[in-house]
Structures are given as C-alpha cells and as structure tokens.
Amino acid sequence: MSKGAIAVLTSGGDAPGMNAVVRAVVRTGINKGFDMLGVKRGYKGLLNKDFVEMDLRSVTNIISLGGTVLYTARSKEFMTLEGQQKAAKHCKEMGVMGVVVIGGDGSFMGARALSDQGVPCIGIPGTIDNDIACSEYTVGFDTAMNTAMEMVDKIRDTSQSHDRCSVVEVMGRRCGDIALQTGISCGATAILVPEVDFNIEDDVISRIVETKKLGKQHFIVVVAEGVGGSVDLAKYIEKRTGIESRATILGHVQRGGSPTVRDRVVASQMGYAAVQLLDEGKSKRVVAMKDGKIVDYDITEALNMKRVFDIDLYNVAKTISM
Ligand code: F6P
C-alpha cells in the first residue's frame, strides 16, 4: 500500500546535478513505498497544479543531463501568503505528504513557508555558487568550476600568444568560491572576490608589475560576478601597465553541461537523505554536507548561519601565483 505521495521540484537558478537529485529522490521514494510526483517549474508549478507522475523509468538516463528536466522558475505569487495557501491546498488535493525542494536560500524560504501551511518540506542545496552557509558543498559547484577552468585555459592560450592580460569574470553574486577555485587552478595573478577587501593598485596593478619583473609575460585576473566591473578593470590595467588587456564575462556557460562525478555522487546522497527524512516524519529540514558527511539542519537555523570564506585557500593563491 502506498504511503502517500512525495513531490520533487527544482527552484531558482538551475545547476548541473539537479537531475541527478531528482533521480535519487524518485528512486528512493519508490523504494520506500511512496508515489512520486514531479512539479514543473518550481513553486509556479505548485500554483498551476502542474504535477507529473514519476516512475522508475521516467528518470532513466537523466543523471548525466545538465539543466533540470523539471524546469525551474521564480514565482512572485508564491511569495504571498495567499500563494502559499493555494500551493498547500493543491499539494493536499494531490495526496502529497512531503515536498523535496532543490535550490538555494530563496527556495528554502519557500520550503519553510509551505511547511508552515502543513506540507512537510525538505531542502537540498542546488546552486553553482556554493553559497549556502549550512553546507560546505552545493550540487552544481564542481561542474561549474570545471567549466570555468576549461574556459580560462582556452583564454590563456590566446592571452599567452599576445602577451596580454585577460580579465575573466566568473559567476557568483554573493560568493567568491567559483572565482577562488578557478583562479587557483588556472594560476591567476590576482583573484577578486566579494568576501575580501582589496585595493586595485596593490592587489592587481602591483602584482602584475612585480610578476612581470620576474619574467611573466601574460596575466590572468579572475573576478567574481559579485565584484563585477571586469571591462573597466581591463581598460584600467592596460592604461596603468601598458599591457594590452581584454575582458571576458563567462556568464551562463557555467550553468550548463553534464555534471561531474562529484556532483552526481553528492546529488545521489542528498536526494536519498531527503526522502529518508520525510519517511521519518521530519519537516522543515535542509540536507547539507559537513566534513564530507551528509547531515541535516532546521531550515531557519540553516538560513541564519553565516558563510565562512576559505581565507587560507585565498592566501595560498596569493602566495603561489607569481
Ligand atoms: O545563483 C546562481 C547564479 O548563476 C549566480 O551566479 C548568478 O548571479 C545568477 O544565478 C544569475 O541568475 P539568472 O540566470 O536568473 O540571471
């Protein structure tokens, strides 16, 4: 006999590995005796009652797909109490006893609001930015970093041929993790992130001038989206140093592509854990990673946590990029 239905949705910006989470949620749910439903386009789908039945075969071969087969959207209506009540009503009409929400902090706020309307929800961190304070890892981060690294390697080929400086802007609105890890892996001369105060003269111009004296002839500067200004920075570097400079904004290329092994494995672990929590009768929890292990936190506690930037890694980058 069915234990009721579990619905799964993806919300906010998509991330590689979201499909791997959906697959894990659907298969774990079926294994535990639940009926499984997918919701199209996040919270908007709950409001439009856009549910699709999911069986074992409906998630075949999606583990390697980028994007989200359930689509994603942002919903203004769901931010209102009336919207949340309507979504909860639709869930109850569909026999939904729990919802798994894959997304970022905004999506978790939605999950908390829906839980408050009597529909137990569990959040899973899915965003390329790695900006969820409660979790040392978010699904999509590894794939995005690898894409950014590959792109910067290509930019370096042409930058080197012309003895230029390339300023590369990577995604990360509030979080410099993509910039930091990409910068280290590509030997960037300077890395600018929103978490660390910097001074263009000391942290960019002087570093370029000093490393040039040490024989370096081409330069990569990685800038996080949250810092921005990469086009102006390239112009300024050229003006101050005389080194021809170009800016590239990588943009949404970082959000696409087949997920890496790490993203597929973490997605599978987190999807499994979320269903396990619902099966244990839990609600308003976020699945997270701590010290490499899967854990879970109360959503409010998770949302109140402060992200800690890896300043040691930042200092490693500063020391070795000469
Ligand atoms: O949160 C992921 C992210 O890719 C950010 O790095 C970026 O600022 C934002 O989403 C872009 O969102 P959108 O695709 O809606 O413009």
pLDDT of 226 reads 97
pLDDT of 321 reads 85
CA of 69: how far to CAs of 193, 254, 310, in Å? 32, 18, 33
pLDDT digits (tens, 9 = 90+) for 249-272: 999 999 999 999 999 999 999 999
Dihedral over Cα of 89, 92, 94, 99: its sign:
positive
- 10, 71, 171: residue to mutate for ligand 1 pocket, most atoms within 8 A of CB: 171
Catalytic residue among 35, 105, 129, 296: 129
CA 191/CA 176 separation, integer angstroms: 9
pLDDT beyond 80 at 1? no
Ligand 1: centre distance to CA 181 (Å): 18
pLDDT band at 2 (very low <50, low <70, confident <90, very high): confident
Share of the chain above pLDDT 90, in %: 98
pLDDT digits (tens, 9 = 90+) for 126-140: 999 999 999 999 999
Fold of 143-255: Rossmann fold (3.40.50)
pLDDT beyond 80 at 168? yes
- 18, 128, 177, 178: residue to mutate for ligand 1 pocket, most atoms within 8 A of CB: 128
- Residue extent(s) of CATH 3.40.50.460 domains in the chain: 143-255
Mean pLDDT value across the chain: 97
CA 285/CA 278 separation, integer angstroms: 9
pLDDT band at 322 (very low <50, low <70, confident <90, very high): confident
pLDDT of 305 reads 98
Ligand 1: centre distance to CA 90 (Å): 29
Ligand 1 residue neighbourhood (C-beta within 6 Å)? 13, 127-129, 171-173, 225, 255
pLDDT digits (tens, 9 = 90+) for 178-203: 999 999 999 999 999 999 999 999 99
pLDDT of 37 reads 98
Q: What is the mean pLDDT of residues 223-250?
A: 98
Q: Are strands 293-298 and 285-290 parallel, antiparallel or unpaired?
A: antiparallel
CA 294/CA 288 separation, integer angstroms: 6
Q: Give nearest CA residue, ligand 1 atom 15.
A: 13
CB contact burial 76-92 (16+ within 10 A = b; e otherwise): eebeeeebbebbbbbbe
Q: Which CATH architecture has domain 5-140+259-304?
A: 3-Layer(aba) Sandwich (3.40)
Contact 111, 123 (CB under 8 A): yes
Predicted TM-score (pTM) of the model is: 0.97
Q: What is the mean pLDDT of residues 30-46?
A: 98
What are 255's two structure tokens? Answer: 């959000």
Write the CB contacts of 49 (distance below 8 Å, at least 6 apart in sequence). Answer: 90, 93, 94
Q: For residue 15, which atom of ligand 1 is closest to its CA?
A: 2
CA 154/CA 224 separation, integer angstroms: 18
CA 184/CA 193 separation, integer angstroms: 13
Q: Are strands 51-54 and 165-170 parallel, antiparallel or unpaired?
A: unpaired
